[in-house]
Amino acid sequence: MIEKLKHTFALSDQGAKDMVKAFLACILHNISLMVPVVLLYSLISDLLEGGIPEGKGTFYIVGTVIALGLIFFTYYIQYNATFFATYVESGVRRLTLAEKLRKIPLSFFGKKDLTDLTNVIMGDCASLESGLSHWVPELIGSVISTLLIAVGIFIFNWKMALASLWVLPVSFGILLLTSGIMGKTERKVQEAKLSCADGIQECLEAVRDLKANNAEAEYLKGLDRKIKAEEKETIVSELTHAVCNTSARMVLKLGIATTVLVGGMLLVDGQITLLTLFAFLILVSRLYDPLIAALDNLVAVMMMLNIQCKRMDEILSYPEQEGTDRLTNKGYDITFDHVGFSYNSGETVLKDVSFTAKQGEITALVGPSGGGKTTVSRLAARFWEIQKGKISVGGMDVSKIEPETLLSLYSIVFQDVTLFNNTVMENIRLGRKDATDEEVLAAARLANVDEFAEKLPDRWNTLIGENGCELSGGERQRISIARAFLKDAPIILLDEATASLDVENETLIQESLSRLIENKTVLIIAHRMRTVAGADKIVVLSDGTVAEQGDSDTLIRKNGIYAHMVQLQTQSQNWVME
């Protein structure tokens, strides 16, 4: 049962155990509400028989106090078991999802939209928190407690019990028969919401390009259609749920009418007493209340939770990248041995790649776009898992090493720098969180960050905006290089680190990189041939294979792909507008 609850509601072990406790607490509370009914039945029985016997008045007073205390106590237990435990589990779930996302391979993110993942962690967790604290335990508790009470009243009088309880299977039958329709409408609402959120996020991210191309009006028309589609699907879903839920509730209400009708007939025939009829009327009104409250949101909530829990369970069940946390490498040579790799789409990127990037040397990856250069650098750091061959660092198979342990060997400078809305100092400190201010400043100077940081309003403590929007491209790139200096790892991966920079910034950054790569294993990706001309080894990738490798002079003499690329870039550099 615990395992079933874990996967159904995306719970932790403790969360599943707490949910069982919540079920039991709701059952106890619902049963405790029947105690006053029993006391009232006994009191009226005594009154009809001539009055309350001597000494029994104390019994009723004490019984009332005990009943109220029992109701309060069971409600207190229910409140703690449902609300407090659910809120704790909600926090655990968010942390667990975040921790899971940290450990699964990047191939997972290639299949997912970032808006969807954000909605899972924030929106789905919040909805699940509400559902598990308000509806699910109360529903299960109401159903089980009703079944237990039903057994008791069947023993007491089966005819009256049948007249009172026949509506329960009919009401739930209506919900079961219409659950497919309601589930379909709920899924359409979720899809429309996601499409709308995607459109809004895309609009915010691309507003500059939309303005530049005078395409705002046309794009907003499309966004407006998505918003109206979400509105339409929400109305249809709400109407469908209202019709189905109202039908089920109306059937429940019929139970009171049939209790009165059958009870009146049995009373006339002398098969029951007036007291028995009165007791059943009180019991029925009390019996239906928890179920009516649960039915108000039962299917809507259960359908919504079913979709959201599946989305969370998909993340939590995704295989993690595992491995040992012990490094056994001898040196830092990176070796690709007949490596093959395909993305999720099935597109084969690397077919049979073999080369070695030696420690103390600069190995450059060049070739036509789509040849697999960036993929090779990502695979070297185990961002994705290869399908064929082997990648090793110092003879150590990277697929056997825990990713975070492996990445301790790498300093990576990407073309697209990611910065945070924090200070210059803290953005550099990301390279090594325990670094002192002096160490951060030293790394910053090596990367020429001080050249612009000293001119900022608050110097090193200046907030640089979301993703460094307050800085230029070259300044952002230098902060990224400063991180690499601070980490001071033995392996350097440079992915088009200077491709989008002006000449002045490129010169400054190349000076920084020259200091960064001394005595280390360096794997560099570049399109500009002059950037890699001085590399110790150049690996030319084309159509997913190593087409050529050697130093620049050797490859030029071969007059192959590399020589052709050098020739084309020389021609483009000499081009002038006529």
Torsion of CA 14, 15, 19, 22, to 10 degrees: 80
pLDDT tens, position by position, 184-224 = 887 788 788 878 877 887 777 777 777 777 777 888 888 88
Query: 223 φ, ψ to 5°?
Result: -65, -40
Q: For residues 555 and 378, give the distance between their C-alpha atoms in angstroms, rounded to a whole number.
A: 25
Average pLDDT, the chain: 79
User: CATH says 324-404+534-578 is which class?
Assistant: alpha beta
Q: For residues 481 and 478, give the distance between their C-alpha atoms in angstroms, rounded to a whole number.
A: 5
Q: For residues 78 and 142, give the distance between their C-alpha atoms in angstroms, rounded to a whole number.
A: 13
Contact 86, 129 (CB under 8 A): yes
Confidence (pLDDT) at 433? 83
Q: For residues 1 and 13, give the distance between their C-alpha atoms in angstroms, rounded to a whole number.
A: 11
Q: Which residues contact 27 (CB under 8 A, 6 or more apart)?
A: 141, 144, 145, 148
Q: Which residues contact 489 (CB under 8 A, 6 or more apart)?
A: 408, 409, 410, 411, 520
Lowest mean pLDDT among 88-102, 288-302, 408-422: 288-302
**Which two tokens mark 434?**
């325990």
Burial bucket for residue 426 (CB in 10 Å: 0-12, 13-18, 19+): middle
Q: Is the pLDDT of residue 256 over 60?
A: yes
Q: How does residue 10 score in pLDDT terms, banded at 50, 70 and 90?
A: low
**Domain segments of the chain as ranges:** 2-316, 324-404+534-578
Confidence (pLDDT) at 298? 59
**Cross-strand partners of 71:** none
pLDDT tens, position by position, 19-49 = 778 888 888 887 888 788 778 878 877 777 7
Q: For residues 173 and 179, give the distance between their C-alpha atoms in angstroms, rounded to a whole number.
A: 10
Same fold, 2-316 and 324-404+534-578: no
Question: Other CB atoms closer than 10 Å to residue 182's CB: what's the count?
Answer: 22
**Which two tokens mark 309?**
């829990």
Question: Rg of the chain over CA atoms, in angstroms?
Answer: 35
Strand pairing of 491-495 and 348-357?
Answer: unpaired
Please name the residue that has the structure tokens 């290869």: 386
Confidence (pLDDT) at 563? 79
Contact 20, 89 (CB under 8 A): no
The one-letter amino acid at 450: D
Q: Which residues contact 511 (CB under 8 A, 6 or more apart)?
A: 448
C-alpha neighbours within 13 Å on the C-beta side of residue 421? 2
Contact 472, 500 (CB under 8 A): no
pTM over 0.85? The answer is: no
C-alpha neighbours within 13 Å on the C-beta side of residue 346? 0
Q: How does residue 154 score in pLDDT terms, banded at 50, 70 and 90?
A: confident
User: CATH says 2-316 is which class?
Assistant: mainly alpha
Confidence (pLDDT) at 113? 67
Highest-pLDDT range among 41-45, 111-115, 116-120, 375-379:
375-379
